[in-house]
Amino acid sequence: MDSYRNRAVVILSGGLDSTTCMALADCRGEDIFALTFAYNQRHIREIESARDVARHYGASHHIIDLGAVFAASALTSAAIRPEVAPFDGKAAHSIPATYVPARNILFLAHALSFAEKVGARRIYTGVNALDNPGYPDCRPEFIDAFQRMIDVGTKAGTEGRSVEVFTPLIQMNKADIIRLASELDAPLHLTLTCYYGESPACGECDSCRLRLEGFRLAGKEDPIHYRKG
């Protein structure tokens, strides 16, 4: 019997989507290694949320510092503010100011290295192509390309034991993700989504507004607090 079969790495930001992935991994009986990346993000309090979520599931939690790697974006620089534009309940298709260059490439590369080291067979990531169509590293074609790279560029892949990049939320809208999280009894009260890293959340940035709209459409009450609304 393969003693590593149920080991999984979950990329855990402390937000709603990655917490739903944690809940799903737990439901599937995975032995979870949670990875959280610190990259000087404005929403640094998400890291505290990630600690709380990992503790909730009794998961091994590892924080990896990538702060020296990333260039300025609205998620990493106080000098750049995410634009607050008229909101129609949908995400923008253009690449937003909150894009961080190569973020998911580096996150997945570190998660892959960690997975090979501990013998994990699967990496959970909460990337979502419907809520984040403007981010090129959240699209299915990016994930497919990264999976092909794993298959041909790693020891596990060439031995027929390739690590799977598992993206259970990639084609789900926010309301469906919230419904799934509720079914899994995910601790959404511990999560933080606000781009500004505020608690109470601002209720105005795109991330807050997508979350609020998702809860409205799902017919659920958001358990976190907002400055407005």
- 15 known member of a binding site: yes
- 199 known member of a binding site: no
- 162 known member of a binding site: no
- 210 known member of a binding site: no
- 18 known member of a binding site: yes
C-alpha angle 49/184/8, rounded to 5°? 70
Q: Which amino acid is at 182?
A: S
- 60 known member of a binding site: no
Q: Tokens representing 105?
A: 């490439």
- 134 known member of a binding site: no
- 176 known member of a binding site: no
Strand partners, 166: 124
- 229 known member of a binding site: no
- 36 known member of a binding site: no
- 22 known member of a binding site: yes
Query: Residues within the annotated binding site?
Result: 12-22, 194, 202, 205, 208
Query: Residues within the annotated binding site for Zn(2+)?
Result: 194, 202, 205, 208
Query: Residues within the annotated binding site for ATP?
Result: 12-22
